[in-house]
């Protein structure tokens, strides 16, 4: 009985425990299901928030990346532009250097060509001078004969003039034709007398070395800031100019020697005693005529050169012997080249009177005197012509501003001179700059 009871109790407990387990299992399943739903919901919400955060992050990242890309693009564009400008500047610099090298190359080639041409001209000139020296004695004999003939003709004309004057005194009331005849005869006589004077000057016993030696100290070397030229002392007082200082000397030269810089002018003079150096100042200039006047002060006495006037110049004929004096090619000693008058003409382009000569004229001769055998100045050496306008080479073609033009210019520096020059019958062709 007890065993059955015990077994019943045990069976009942087993049933109760089994039911409890079943109920607990069902409850646990429901609880687990609810918890799982909550977890799934949280997971879903978390996933949604995570997706939203990731999307925002991605969007912000994309914005940052876009800004960075824009900045990089702008930086690259700026760098590219800068590099392009630098390359452009380098190209311009290279082109400038290339042009400079090309210019220098052309200049060197031209200088080489010019030097060769000058050497050829000098060689040919030397040959011609030797030939002229051989013929000089014959020329002197011929000129002496011409002088004797001219003197005889002059004496005959003087006798005729005396007879004519005696006769004219008796026929003062004759008609105009006789008066015109008298004037023409006087003019012819004066021309002959002038020609005779020129012949006497060029054929007298004085030699070229004696002439040059006597005027050497009146020919100066001029050093400017940019060039080296020649000039000569002239008597400005004879052209109505009164200097305030008796020790002031005036020098004629070319305006182109200064190249628009009229400061730091130095005068060098050489005579038999010593060398002299003086500072000089510009007094007047005629740019178009290529004439300049400078002055310096010295207690030493220098003899000005005489310039041939217009009437005398008319009788300096083609073939008249001349010498071009100066300091060519930067030499410090006086150089003389001989030749003859080749032509006399008026230069329309520069409005000036020119004398052409075959005397050798080189750089540095500019401003030097062109003299006849008497030592008188008939022109100022100014330029040379190496080729014609068509490119044909020219030999022995030097040009000097005539003494007529020089006298006119130095007589018209100021108003006082102009007035006195006009009163003397002159007329200023040009006024200073």
Per residue in 231-249, pLDDT tens?
Answer: 999 999 999 998 888 899 9
CA dihedral sign of residues 250, 256, 260, 261: negative
Number of neighbours of residue 59 by Cβ within 10 angstroms: 10
CATH architecture assignment, domain 208-423 = Beta Barrel (2.40)
Let me know: does 201 contact 373? Beta carbons within 8 Å: yes
Let me know: does 372 contact 322? Beta carbons within 8 Å: yes
Q: Going residue by residue through the chain, which has 433 residues, state the pLDDT in tens, using 9 for 90 and above.
A: 567 677 777 777 777 777 766 767 777 777 777 777 877 787 787 777 877 877 887 888 788 888 878 888 887 888 888 888 888 888 888 888 878 878 887 887 888 888 788 777 877 777 777 777 777 777 777 777 777 776 776 676 666 666 556 656 656 656 555 565 555 545 545 554 554 455 445 445 579 999 999 999 999 999 998 889 999 999 999 999 988 888 999 999 999 999 999 999 999 998 877 899 999 999 999 999 999 999 999 999 999 999 999 999 999 999 999 999 999 998 999 999 999 999 999 999 999 999 999 999 999 999 999 999 999 999 999 999 877 666 665 677 899 999 999 999 999 999 999 999 999 999 999 999 9
- Residue 57: per-residue pLDDT: 78
Residue 261: strand, helix, or coil: coil
Distance CA 219, CA 226 (A): 20
Helical packing angle, 176-203 and 2-170, nearest 10°? 120
Distance CA 396, CA 384 (A): 8
DSSP state of 306: P
Tell how strand 219-223 and strand 228-234 pair up.
antiparallel
Where do the structural domains in the chain lie, given as residue ranges? 137-203, 208-423
**Nearest residue to 222 via CA among 287, 272, 280, 298:** 280
**Nearest residue to 125 via CA among 308, 398, 332:** 398
123 phi and psi angles, rounded to 5 deg? -65, -45
Say which residues have a Cβ less than 8 Å from residue 292's Cβ, sequence separation at least 6: 252, 253, 254, 255, 257, 258, 282, 284, 285, 286, 367
- Residue 96: per-residue pLDDT: 82
């Amino acid at each position: 009985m007890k065993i059955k009871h015990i077994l019943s109790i045990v069976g009942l407990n087993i049933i109760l425990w089994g039911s409890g387990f079943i109920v607990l299992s069902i409850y646990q399943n429901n609880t687990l299901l609810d918890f799982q739903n909550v977890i799934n919901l949280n997971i879903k919400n978390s996933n949604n928030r995570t997706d939203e955060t990731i999307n925002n992050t991605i969007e912000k990242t994309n914005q940052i990346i876009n800004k960075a890309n824009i900045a990089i693009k702008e930086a690259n564009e700026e760098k590219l532009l800068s590099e392009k400008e630098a390359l452009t500047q380098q190209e311009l610099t290279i082109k400038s250097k290339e042009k400079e090298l090309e210019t220098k190359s052309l200049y060197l080639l031209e200088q080489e060509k010019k030097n060769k041409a000058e050497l050829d001209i000098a060689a040919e000139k030397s040959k011609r001078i030797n030939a002229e020296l051989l013929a000089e004695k014959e020329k002197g004999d011929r000129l002496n004969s011409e002088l004797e003939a001219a003197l005889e003709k002059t004496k005959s004309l003087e006798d005729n003039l005396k007879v004519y004057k005696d006769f004219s005194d008796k026929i003062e009331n004759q008609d105009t034709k006789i008066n015109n005849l008298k004037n023409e005869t006087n003019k012819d006589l004066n021309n002959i007398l002038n020609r005779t004077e020129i012949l006497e000057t060029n054929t007298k016993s004085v030699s070229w070395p004696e002439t040059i030696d006597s005027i050497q100290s009146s020919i100066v070397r001029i050093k400017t800031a940019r060039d080296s030229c020649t000039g000569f002392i002239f008597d400005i007082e004879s052209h109505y100019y009164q200097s305030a200082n008796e020790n002031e000397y005036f020098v004629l030269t070319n305006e182109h020697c200064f190249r628009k810089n009229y400061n730091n002018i130095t005068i060098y003079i050489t005579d038999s005693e010593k060398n002299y150096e003086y500072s000089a100042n510009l007094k007047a200039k005629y740019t178009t005529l290529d004439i300049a006047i400078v002055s310096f002060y010295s207690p030493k006495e220098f003899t000005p050169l005489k310039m041939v006037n217009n009437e005398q110049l008319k009788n300096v004929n083609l073939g008249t012997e001349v010498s071009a004096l100066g300091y060519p090619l930067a030499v410090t000693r006086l150089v003389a080249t001989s030749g003859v008058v080749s032509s006399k003409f008026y230069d329309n382009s520069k409005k000036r009177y020119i004398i052409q000569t075959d005397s050798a004229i080189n750089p540095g001769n500019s401003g030097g005197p062109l003299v006849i055998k008497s030592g008188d100045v008939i022109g100022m050496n100014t330029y040379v012509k190496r080729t014609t306008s068509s490119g044909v080479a020219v030999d022995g073609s030097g040009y000097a501003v005539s003494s007529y033009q020089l006298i006119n210019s130095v007589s018209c520096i100021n108003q006082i001179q102009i007035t006195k020059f006009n009163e003397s019958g002159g007329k200023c062709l040009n006024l200073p700059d």
